[in-house]
Amino acid sequence: MRISTPFALRARLPLSGIGLLMLAGLLPALAHAANPAYEAVTEARLLGAQKDLGWLMYRRDYTSSGYAPFDQINAANVAGLKPVFDYKTGLTQGHESPPVVNGRFMFITTPMNHLIALDATTGAVLWTYVHDLSKAALKTVCCDVVNRGVALFENKVYMATLDNRLVALDGATGKVLWNQQLIGADIGYAMTLAPLVVKGKVIVGVSGGEYGGRGFIEALDAGTGKRVWKTYTIPAPNEPGGDTWPKDAYKTGGGGPWLTGTYDAEADTLMWGVGNPGPWLATLRPGDNLYTDSVIAMNPATGKIKWHFQYTPNDSWDYDGANETVMVDLTYGGKPYKAVVSASRNGWFYAIDRTNGKLIYMEKFAKATSVTGHKDGKVTTDAALRPTVDKEVFTCPSFLGGKNWWPISVNPVTRMAYVPTMHTCMKIKGAAVRYKAGLPFLGESFTVMHDPDNPNWGSVQGISLDTGKQVWSHASALPWNDGTLSTGGGLVFSGSADGHFMAFDAKVGKVLWTSEELSSGIIGVPSTYMVDGKQYVAVYAGWGGASPIWGGDMANDPRVKGIPVGGHLYVFRLQ
């Protein structure tokens, strides 16, 4: 029987002043009276988010860089990083959200859609919102009841919910301003992503690739919550790309655009990754199955698709293309490109020309056998490694991916991407499938296993943006399921599954600092911000997500099974 190690048995981070912080939390009136002023997050601030002192959106800026220019904490002094405060959420599922910071206001979300505003320097609770999920059965949430954080605009904070609502709250007080339902709960969709605000619209995408949903991205008016446009990621038969599906199969075609996209302000283009096709078994849906496992570019005013690039055509391995879309300018083969890069589930690192959707390069960053490369810019797959109802195959990476949702970051100085990596393969075979609204729609059986050439489950890699090749790698016996944060201090921050938050030298990958053991494994996206001239780094511990549920041999590894659970935000700075 799987029982997590009791929290009390783990080494706890010693913290001074915790009693005072708890007192502040217990006295909301007092805390409220002391609330700092809330500065509006204007469109200009969003466009300039890279240079803002806070952390205004999921990946800090519209390019999804995960990079902050702050250098107060740097390679020379990071060893002196100390905890300032922590905040325990009381929930035991996966904690994935980045702390989003505007001035002194820090916003974190928890599993089951709680939203908490804290003082970013003390951890004092400013307000709390607990979304009412009492009517939702959460039957169509595949990979833990997670949430990946908020979006900010003007005076509002936005959270997308597991029951497919977008909630807008007043940032200063937590008062709910509106609560808009996009689509019913429990019929195939859920939302776990951080929304993205572009030009007065809040843009979100749904999860649902495992339940026969038909994915869509929807833009709502940021002021009123009214729908502005809705773009399906699976075209109908009469739309462009509709002929890449058996007619009518699109209705259950999946393609959940379940992570946050990117906005190219110069080109006025929204880019968004699209998830796997449904059911998993590809022989049931001949064709490329656009726009599954693709990045699509859209006009943010209308949602109209401008171009696309497909990472995995006719996917039979659950290789979602939903992963990050990071804008970088790079030079490849002596030519400069305006690119968008992504470390795809299928184990390949892609650079795509973001002006036209053409492939610049693709390089393996994990063992990858299902996808073999490309021919004239179109991705190719190994027909022999496609499972059927009569054939089990062993292929790599596993459906959990060379990398799952954990976002990469980039550093414009080192010209590298920092990629959390999983080293797994899988046995996979077709199975019977039935479609019924509200139930899984897979049609494959599978087991996640070790990459036979790699004894470790995980690593963190530095990959050159100009070549797509590995520069450094930090091996991890346990899986590495945490996104990365890059800083102008020449550092990369990321957390391990055994509860250590770490700083790497961005150039060579040397570990420069390791936190004490935090209360749980780390899957929360780290962020950094400046308040009153001091730089802070913040991250959630709170093991969960897809790996412990779907991870097969990896999840059953006693070292993984023994990872304690429980959500806990930790904030560090130099003393």
Partner 1 sequence: MRKRHAAGIGIGLALMFGTGPVEARALLTVCIDRASPLAAMDARIAQAAAVSQGYGLGIEYFDGQGLGDGAFASDSFRKLAGGLCQLVLGFPVDADAPLLPDGVEATRPYAQTGFVLATRKPQAAGALAGVPVGSTIGVIFETAPNLYFHDHPGLQPRVYRSSAAMIDAVANGTLAAAMVWQPSLALHGEAHPGLRTLAFQPLDGAHARWNLVALHGAESSAAAAVFEHGIAALHGTGQLAQLLAPYAVDQAADQAAAKPLPAIRPASGKAAVGQAGPGHLLAVAAVTAPRTAGKRPAIYTLEQARSGLMSYAMNCAFCHGAGLEGRTGPALKGEKFASAAANFLVGDIFFVLAMQMPAGKPGSLPKDEYAAVMAYLLQQNGYPAGKTLLDYEQALVSEVPLIYSGP
Q: Active-site residues: which are they?
A: 318
- The rounded distance, in Å, linking the Cα atoms of 120 and 100 is 10
Q: How many residues does the chain have?
A: 575
8 Å CB contact between 254 and 207 = no
Segment contacting partner 1 (CB under 8 A): 14-22, 36-44, 118-126, 427-435?
427-435
Straight-line distance from the first to the last Cα atom of the chain, in angstroms, rounded to the nearest whole number: 43
Residue 549 binds partner 1, judged by CB under 8 A: yes
8 Å CB contact between 231 and 217 = yes
- The rounded distance, in Å, linking the Cα atoms of 529 and 521 is 23
Residue 548 binds partner 1, judged by CB under 8 A: yes
Segment contacting partner 1 (CB under 8 A): 44-52, 243-251, 495-503, 512-520?
243-251
Q: How far is the CB of 280 from partner 1 (least distance, A)?
A: 10
Q: Output 24-30 pairs: Cβ under 8 A, ≥24 positions apart.
A: 24/122, 24/124, 24/125, 25/124, 25/125, 28/125, 28/127
Q: Which position among 135, 226, 335, 375 is part of the footprint of partner 1 (CB under 8 A)? A: 135
Segment contacting partner 1 (CB under 8 A): 62-70, 135-143, 452-460, 468-476?
135-143
Q: How far is the CB of 95 from partner 1 (least distance, A)?
A: 12
Q: What is the CA radius of gyration of the chain?
A: 22
Q: Which position among 300, 542, 551, 564 is part of the footprint of partner 1 (CB under 8 A)? A: 551
Residue 181 binds partner 1, judged by CB under 8 A: no
Residue 384 binds partner 1, judged by CB under 8 A: no
Alpha helices in 1-131 (DSSP H): 18-26, 28-33, 43-47
Residue 388 binds partner 1, judged by CB under 8 A: yes
Residue 137 binds partner 1, judged by CB under 8 A: yes
Give 267 or 284: the residue with its C-beta nearer to partner 1: 284
Give 249 or 360: the residue with its C-beta nearer to partner 1: 249
Cα angle 343, 101, 130; round to 5: 95
8 Å CB contact between 429 and 394 = no
Residue 372 binds partner 1, judged by CB under 8 A: no
Burial class for 412, CB neighbours closer than 10 Å (0-12, 13-18, 19+): middle
DSSP character string of 252-299: G-B----S--EEETTTTEEEEEB--BSSS-GGGS-S--TTTTEEEEE-
Give 289 or 494: the residue with its C-beta nearer to partner 1: 289
Give 179 or 388: the residue with its C-beta nearer to partner 1: 388
Could you tell me how many residues of this chain bind partner 1 (CB under 8 A)? 53
Distances (CA, A) of 220 to 196, 202, 264, 316: 11, 5, 19, 33
Residue 246 binds partner 1, judged by CB under 8 A: yes
Q: Among 237, 244, 198, 241, which residue's Cα sits nearest to residue 221? A: 198
Q: How far is the CB of 279 from partner 1 (least distance, A)?
A: 8
Residue 479 binds partner 1, judged by CB under 8 A: no
DSSP character string of 298-319: E-TTT--EEEEEESSTT-SS--
Residue 375 binds partner 1, judged by CB under 8 A: no
Q: How far is the CB of 442 from partner 1 (least distance, A)?
A: 6
Residue 574 binds partner 1, judged by CB under 8 A: no
Q: What is the contact mask toward partner 1 in residues 499 to 538, using x (rule: CB under 8 A)?
A: ----------------------------------------
Segment contacting partner 1 (CB under 8 A): 199-207, 428-436, 485-493, 503-511?
428-436
Compute, in degrees rounded to 10, the torsion defined by CA atoms 183, 185, 188, 189: 60
- The rounded distance, in Å, linking the Cα atoms of 7 and 564 is 7
Q: Which position among 182, 555, 563, 569 is part of the footprint of partner 1 (CB under 8 A)? A: 555
Q: Which position among 115, 141, 290, 503 is part of the footprint of partner 1 (CB under 8 A)? A: 141
Residue 286 binds partner 1, judged by CB under 8 A: yes
Residue 350 C-alpha from the chain's centroid: 17
Cα angle 304, 306, 310; round to 5: 115
Residue 432 binds partner 1, judged by CB under 8 A: yes
Residues at the interface with partner 1 (CB under 8 A): 1-2, 92-94, 111, 135-139, 141, 143-145, 186, 243, 246-249, 283-286, 388-390, 430-440, 442-443, 445-448, 544, 548-552, 555-556
